[in-house]
Structure 1
Amino acid sequence: MENIKFALDIGTRTVIGIAFTLDEDKIKIVDEEIIEHKKRAMMDGQVHDIQAVSEVAYEVKTRLEERLCTKFDRVSIAAAGRILKTTKVLADLPLKDGQVIDRDFINNLELEALSKAYSQINTEDLEEKFYCVGYSVINYFLNDYLMTNLEGHRGKKASVELLATFLPQSVVDSLYSVIKNIGLEVETMTLEPIAAMNAVIPKEYRLLNLALIDIGAGTSDIAITKDGTVVAYGMVPFAGDEITEAICHHLVVDFNTAEEIKLSLNTNKKTYKYTDILLNTKTVKLSEIKKVIEPTVEKLAELICQKIIELNGKSPNAVFLVGGGSQVVKLPEFISSRLGIPKDRVAVRGIDAIKNVIYSGNKLNGPDCVTPIGIAINSINSPGSFIVVKVNGKEVKLYNSGKQRVSNALHIAGIKPQNLFAKSGKGINIKINGQERRFLGEAAKPSMIFKNGQVTSLLDCIEDGDEIVVNFAVDGRDAEVLLKDVLKEGQMAKVNGVEMGLDYKLSDGDEVEIIELKFNEVKEEDFIYVVVNGEPIKLQNRQEGYIFVDIFNYVDIDINSAKAVRLLLNDRDASFTDRIKDGDRIIIETHQ
């Protein structure tokens, strides 16, 4: 049989292999194999004994190859959601007086928070490397007050509370080692919550705020989706085994017997015949077992809902339950009650809810089959497990979550938010003959980010092979004003009561007293007169004459802070180099 693809779900208790082909736009499952681990080689979804896991995975692969008379060389896999690390951080940036918050500022604020999240996760485990697989904004704050949207506001300080999720590289490495041991290469690797989502939640629904809960034996894994992608992950160390243990204690039976009784609760049986550990044969009403496990089920729902609110900040639009533990009675009802959402917005999903899948077997028949089928579906649509981009010529590797942004690549490349966010130079205030005058510092030179030669932003998505170039922001220089810059010809000055030279550098708060010099031997014909903005100006005649720009030495007009300046000479547009003569009418218009 040709063109057969292979997907492998390496779980805590079992390894599930699926062989499938493509039938137009559908996946056709041609065979499946499920084998339990011979010992506890996996714990909470993470490989602990690579050799033992490899042996079971190899057996699954070999059985399928023998039955299908084929050889696999590549396989699609998934990492468990429970091994992800999630951290919550609060970051802030100061605002200048009068600064209006725009989208660029918010982007830098989020990048500052993401950088803080990376630092925090690395501090917790100095020897581990992490891939960021997603982040979501929980809250914005302005001057420590909660805000729904910062854009357009002014204040002293803006803050963001952010939840970021990271995938440890060691987990990826251990899964890759198992695959290498069984003679295969990884075709695609996804996360189990994403695989389950691909199977039971259509893409067009993911713009909604949804929660996907994968309830297994030892843990309940949670994924939150919003704006078309998974933004947060979490785990509750409470799941199906706790319900089984409640039955064990009530009936005094071993774990396997209790597990069988638990599974029978979803059948039409009314009683169950069993043998306890004292070898007593008894019959129990299943209605009695449902009452016994109800407090445990309610506790499971409570813990799941608490984690959802912690990750999402509020109740989601809907909740989807998958995994073997999701079949327990009354769980959807308890979850809807705790979250305050209608009962019909909490649904258990199994193979019957998976579209575009052809399957005629009977092994994959419940919510526990969702993840392996999701891995198969993901392998069709996913371009690869990781993407590689270049940032200023340096290669950067990111986990392909489907929505990696420029900001993630910049952080991994070691670019700090302060390299992208510059400040204008400080201005100074000076009193000149009692009148307050402000001199502005140099404007900051903003950063520029290019993706494949085109201007881009921090929130733009990136793809494998993209090249990113960052021109760093440059702070503006502080205002530098010399005494001669405020004097006109024929003037001298005292600064703070002391006579100073023309090259004296003025400081913020200085008081300048300008003194007009008197020349007794100057005659009237030694002057020319012009009118500037309606005010007569007397200029000493000189051999080289005057041009328009010279006028600014004799008038108190600041064009440096103006957005636009218009020059008129005798009612006609002029330039700075136009010559000035006696009797000219000059108008200087500035627009802020």
Structure 2
Amino acid sequence: MTDSTLTKISPHEAIFSLDIGTKSVVGIIAKKEDEKFMVIDVEMMEYSSRAMYDGQIHDIDKVAQVAKKVKEKLENRLGFKLTRVAIAAAGRALKTCRVQVSREIDSTKEIEQGTINSLEIEGIQKAQEMLDNKISSKDTKYYCVGYTVVNYYLDDNMITSLKGHRGDKIQADILATFLPHIVVDSLYSVMNKIGLEVIHLTLEPIAAIHVAIPPKLRLLNLALVDIGAGTSDIAITQDGTVVSYAMASIAGDEITEAIAKEFLLDFDTAERLKVELNKKDSHTFEDIVGIPYTMTTEEIVDKIAPVIEKLAFEIAEKVIQYNGKSPSAVFCIGGGSQIPTLTKYLADKLGLRPERVAIRGTEIIENIEFLCKQLEGPEFITPIGIGIISVKDGDDNFIEISVNEELIKLFNTKKLFVSDALIRAGINAKRLIARRGKNLNIYINGQIKTIKGSFGEPAKIYLNGKLSSLDEEINHKDQIKIEWAIDGVDASISLKDLIKDINSINFNGLDIHLMNKLLVNGKEVPMDYKIMDGDHITFEEIHTVEELLKRFNVDYQKTIVRVNGVEVEKAYRLKHKDEIVTLDRKAAVSVNENKVENNKIKVSINGQAIEIPKKNRELIFVDIFDYFDFDRTKVKGILIMKLNGKKVGYTDPIKNGDDIEIYWKNN
């Protein structure tokens, strides 16, 4: 790069991005000119000793020293200080958990999107709990940066979409991805140590996808595989965003080790040979004992083919595991992606055509121009992507949202919705959907019966004062307020209400149900007894006049039975609301044979004198209820009936001067 090139950029237009890698730090200076991303200068420096492991900074001072040297070299050539920077967190630092969540729902209502979103939030929170339990260090905190629903289920059957359906139970298999706070914190610590303000933070897979996969392709189900030295990081795209992440713990170093073992080379020599495999057709080298080799690339690759195939197999296995199937295509980046035959094996393992597994280098980046030596190869996709995505997204790498007056920050890597804010705020999804009241499961004559609890009221979510939903998009400074769901009432019923639907009749003025020997768990209980879960209710059903008379110890041979005013036989089958009156046969005959001179008889009922008109039959005890006000419809205990101090039945005759007592006795 010439000095004249450097004079073409001023401090206020300089875009400075740093890629803090596992083995090195890459710094890029660029500027935006119209629609083009102009790369002005580049500096790369390796660590003298290991300072990072799998994307996590372990030695902040060592990383800061190298990053500072990269920064200073760029500053010296630019002629001004760099104060602002764009960075990325390593995808390999992410953790992924898969969970299944389920919920009972109201089968009479269509499933709404809010219910689905709430189920997904519950899954993410369950995944968070699982992750927290797995992590040995309780100081490491994670938060969700993306998730995907692998499968939905309705009443235990897999279904593509739940919305609009009806059923009793919904389920979801959810794959949630979390970023440890320490990754972000350590990156910020390094930047603070070297005097840089972070103006944009993204994830490495997102930065890579931004430049490796054009926007028109991002709606497709694609996999981006970044094959580094120690790990192969995988990101899955769908519907325009990164939906899940994975990592295969095998990468370029495995190939280097295989070459070293096969040809008896030290690691550095094997690494150089590996890098040259995709650059030259013939290679000359010596092993550690001085034996010279001259071999073609094809010959070397054939010797280590099993290891290359193993690398492809493990990557393919992870892609399918986290995507649920083979994607439409795979894009490979990173230095390790250049290993000959790797993409062919990967296509075979995924069942894709070879052209659908492609290596992406800097040449595919749209609207980019190099004013310095051009960076070539897939290993520079991520460093350039960090700078480009910072220009696209501007400074809004975090947005601030208020949830029930508590301020939270969200990592702004995609479209964000109310549900994302609630997840970040730690809102319990169970408080958003009303819990149905508990059911009562009881047994009636051996048959199970479920008395359902009532449905409650779902939560109300307000976004900036307006009634909203979980899938409403949110922006910086938005305010969310939640009125929590109100749970339904548990099922509750008394014995009296439980049997009210059983057929009833009026027998000699008394309303009764057509049942006998009503027991709860084998015992007699009062009618106001509150039914308990698991209770066994038993009774004998009364079907005929004969069975009814047996219940009240009435001899059919001595009795005339009238149903709704018509005399019937003992085999008559009783119906709901029948009115039954019984008469003593002899008394009825006697009345018909003898004329009665007086028109009324006088009796004392509970000390009150009552006159009862005579009929064309003998008067019986039940007749008193036509002339004496006594409510028998509301049971208040045991009904006591006495005639001249003795117990009496409904059909016993009464005569002039009788003393009658009738009252309820408490149990």
1:341 match: secondary structure? coil
The reply on whether 1:197 has 2:209 as its aligned counterpart is yes
> Structure 1: how far apart are the matches of 2:310 and 2:117?
40
Aligned AA for 1:43? Y
Q: Is the 8 A contact 2:144 2:424 kept in 1?
A: no
Matches of 1:141 and 1:309 in 2, distance apart? 20
Which range is displaced more, 408-417 or 148-157?
A: 148-157
Residue 384 of structure 1 is matched in structure 2 by 396
Q: Judging changes above 3 Å, is the alpha-carbon distance between structure 1 residues 328 and 481 closer, same or farther for their aligned structure 2 residues?
A: closer
Aligned to 2:227: 215
Paired residue for 2:290, among 279, 289, 299? Answer: 279
Aligned residue for 1:355? 366
C-alpha distance in structure 2 between counterparts of 1:388 and 1:447, whole Å: 23
Aligned to 1:395: 407
Q: Which residues in structure 2 correspond to 1:384-533 (within 5 Å)?
A: 384-423=396-435, 444-477=456-489
Q: Which amino acid aligns with 1:29?
A: V
Q: How many pairs are equivalent?
A: 517
* Matching residue within 10, 17, 23 for 2:27: 17
Determine which of 324, 342, 345 is the counterpart of 2:335: 324
Cα deviation digits, residues 255-308 of structure 1 (max 9, x gap): 2222222222222x3322223222344433332112122222111111110000
Kindly report structure 1 stretches of 4+ aligned residues shifted beyond 3 Å.
95-102, 151-156, 279-282, 360-363, 423-430, 438-443, 476-484, 491-498, 503-511, 513-516
| Pick aligned residue for 2:117 from 107, 121, 132 | 107
Instruction: Output the CA distance in 2 between the equivalents of 1:139 and 1:55.
Output: 47
User: How far apart, CA to CA, are the structure 2 residues paired with 1:167 and 1:439?
Assistant: 46
Structure-2 residue corresponding to 1:70: 80
Partner of 2:129: 119
Counterpart of 2:302 in structure 1 is 291
In structure 2, what residue type is equivalent to 1:297? I
Q: Which structure carries more relative contact order (alpha carbon 8 Å, separation 6+)?
A: 1
Alpha carbons of structure 1 residues 481 and 321: separation in structure 2 relative to 1, 3 Å? closer
After TM superposition, the structure 1 = structure 2 runs for residues 11-410 of structure 1, keeping only pairs within 5 Å, are 11-96=21-106, 98=108, 100-125=110-135, 126-267=138-279, 269-362=280-373, 364-382=375-393, 383-410=395-422
Matched position secondary structure for 1:401: coil
C-alpha distance in 1 between matches for 2:27 and 2:322: 32
Unaligned runs of 5+ in 2: 1-8, 443-449, 501-508, 519-526, 540-575, 580-609, 612-667
Alpha-carbon offset, residue 422 of structure 1: 1.2
Greater Cα offset, 83-92 or 277-286: 277-286
Q: For residues 106 and 445 of structure 1, what CA distance do their matches in structure 2 show?
A: 16
The structural deviation recorded for 1:411 is: 3.0
Q: Alpha-carbon deviation of 1:112?
A: 1.6
Larger radius of gyration: 2
Percent of paired sites with the same residue: 46
Q: Which amino acid aligns with 1:209?
A: N
Change (3 A) 1:255 1:427: closer
Cα separation, 2, equivalents of 1:478 and 1:251? 75
Aligned-CA RMSD value: 3.7
Q: 1:54 to 1:476 in 2, by over 3 A?
A: same
CA distance in 1, matches of 2:440, 2:191: 66
Alpha carbons of 1:156 and 1:71: their partners in 2 closer, same or farther (altered >3 Å)?
Answer: same
Decide whether the 8 Å contact of 1:492 with 1:515 is kept in 2. Answer: no
The one-letter amino acid of 2:242's match is: V
8 A contact 2:89–2:203 mirrored in 1: yes
Q: Secondary structure at the match of 2:22?
A: coil
**Is the contact made by 2:262 and 2:304 (CA closer than 8 Å) also made in structure 1?**
no
Aligned partners of 1:279, 1:439: CA distance in 2, in Å? 87
How big is the shift at 1:507? 6.0
- Which residue is equivalent to 1:556? none
Per the alignment, in what secondary structure is the counterpart of residue 61 of structure 1? helix
Superposed CA deviations along residues 311-347 of structure 1, whole A, max 9, x for unmatched, are: 0000111111111111111122111111112222111
Q: 1:429 to 1:278 in 2, by over 3 A?
A: closer
Cα distance, 1:115 vs structure 2: 1.4
Q: Which residue of 2 aligns with 1:544?
A: none
1:288 alignment partner, SS class: helix
Deviation at 1:18, TM superposition (A): 0.1
Contact 2:436 2:487 in 1 (8 A): yes
Instruction: Identify if the C-alpha distance between structure 1 residues 131 and 387 changes in structure 2 by more than 3 Å, giving closer, same or farther.
Output: farther
* 1:66-98 CA distance string (max 9 Å, x none): 001011111111111111000111111123454
Is the contact made by 2:41 and 2:371 (CA closer than 8 Å) also made in structure 1? no
Task: Give the distance between the partners of 1:427 and 1:47, measured in 2 at CA.
Answer: 53
Deviation sequence 1:426-483 (CA, Å, 0-9, x none): 79999xxxxxxx9997652221111122222223332222211111111234577898
Q: Tell me which moved more, 247-256 or 209-218.
A: 247-256
TM-score, length-scaled by structure 2: 0.70
Looking at structure 2, the residues matched to 228 and 6 of structure 1 have their Cα atoms a distance apart, in angstroms, of: 26
1:156 deviates by 3.8
Shift in Å at residue 36 of structure 1? Answer: 0.9
1:369-422 per-position Cα deviation (integer Å, ceiling 9, x unaligned): 100000001111224332221111111222222133322322332321221111
